[in-house]
């Protein structure tokens, strides 16, 4: 392992393709840096799909481990980010199929910034005078509604509306065309709108 790749200060300056090249040669320090760059986004995607922190932790770690094992087969046709995302998404979809109807929530706490979000404050204050209780209730209802969507529709909403990825990037991750992404997004929003009608008035 090179000293350069092990140094966290110098790592952000290294280009992704260089890190991939080093990791492919077995440099775990370089791979460490790749994991740090994308861990939050990969974890968040899996978490929003499963609504369970422990499952998300396992699946996100396994996705990075599988990506490392398969690094030699990574052709570089897409970015490493898209590739690892695809691995995580496939793992998550397989996991969700296997645990169908046996899901249970293990939700992360809402951070204190949520209380300062004017949009959320407006939604809560109309529903309940007790802000904290309102947020928790809203969080549970939102997760319940998300879990009622099919995996493909939940994924589109997660990637676009929660994580802010563009349609084109989502199409690459889901291996479909942009039109399919748009139509799935529209349908998923309609469904969510129905499930959360009481909170959207």
Partner 1 sequence: MSAEQENFEALRKLLALKKHEQPPPGYFDQFASEVRSRLAAGEHRQTNLWRELGDEASWLQRLWAAFADKPALAGAFGMAVCALMLSGIYLSQKPEPVADAVVAEAWQLPAPAASQILMASSTNPVPAVPVGGSLFDRVGIPLQTAPVNFQPQGQ
| Part of the chain binding partner 1 (CB under 8 A), chosen from 13-21, 54-62, 75-83, 172-180 | 54-62
Q: What does the alpha-carbon distance between residue 161 and residue 115 come to, in Å, rounded to a whole number?
A: 20
**Which residues within the stretch 147-166 sit at the binding site for partner 1 (CB under 8 A)?**
157-158, 161-162
Binding letters toward partner 1, positions 57-96, x by CB under 8 A: x--xxx-xxx-xx--------------------xx--xx-
Q: Which of 20, 22, 27, 48 binds partner 1 (CB under 8 A)?
A: 48
Task: List, in order, residues 6 or more apart from 170 with CB less than 8 Å away.
Answer: 156, 159, 160, 181
- What is the helix (H) or strand (E) element at residue 17, kind and residue range? helix 16-24
Binding letters toward partner 1, positions 105-134, x by CB under 8 A: --xxxxx-xx--x-xx-xx-----------
Looking up tokens 């209380």 gives 115
The token pair that represents 77 in the structure block: 């046709």
Q: Which of 7, 70, 133, 200 binds partner 1 (CB under 8 A)?
A: 200
Interior angle at CA 191, CA 123 and CA 187, nearest 5: 120
Question: What is the sign, positive or negative, of the torsion defined by CA atoms of 166, 115, 36, 65?
Answer: negative
- Smallest CA-to-CA distance from 151 within 90, 86, 105 is with 90
Which CB sits closer to partner 1, 146 or 171? Answer: 146
- Smallest CA-to-CA distance from 134 within 150, 148, 122 is with 122
Which CB sits closer to partner 1, 48 or 172? Answer: 48
The token pair that represents 141 in the structure block: 């209802």
State the residues that interact with partner 1 by CB under 8 A: 28, 31-32, 35-36, 39-40, 43, 47-48, 53, 57, 60-62, 64-66, 68-69, 90-91, 94-95, 97-101, 107-111, 113-114, 117, 119-120, 122-123, 135, 138-139, 142, 146, 157-158, 161-162, 189, 192-193, 196, 199-200
């Amino acid at each position: 392992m090179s000293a350069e790749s092990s140094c966290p200060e110098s790592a952000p300056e290294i280009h992704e393709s260089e890190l991939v090249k080093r990791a492919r040669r077995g440099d775990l320090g370089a791979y460490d840096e790749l994991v740090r760059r994308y861990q939050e986004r990969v974890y968040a995607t899996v978490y929003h799909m499963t609504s369970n922190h422990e499952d998300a932790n396992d699946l996100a770690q396994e996705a990075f481990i599988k990506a490392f094992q398969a690094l030699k087969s990574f052709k570089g046709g897409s970015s490493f980010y898209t590739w690892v995302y695809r691995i995580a998404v496939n793992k998550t979809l397989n996991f969700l199929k296997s645990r169908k109807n046996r899901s249970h929530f293990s939700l992360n706490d809402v951070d204190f910034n949520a209380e300062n979000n004017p949009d959320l404050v407006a939604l809560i204050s109309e529903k309940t005078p007790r802000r904290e209780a309102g947020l928790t209730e809203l969080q549970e209802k939102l997760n319940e509604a998300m879990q009622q969507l099919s995996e493909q529709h939940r994924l589109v909403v997660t990637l676009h509306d929660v994580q802010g990825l563009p349609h084109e990037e989502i199409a690459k991750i889901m291996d479909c065309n942009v039109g399919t992404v748009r139509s799935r997004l529209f349908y998923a929003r309609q469904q969510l709108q129905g499930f959360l009608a009481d909170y959207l008035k």
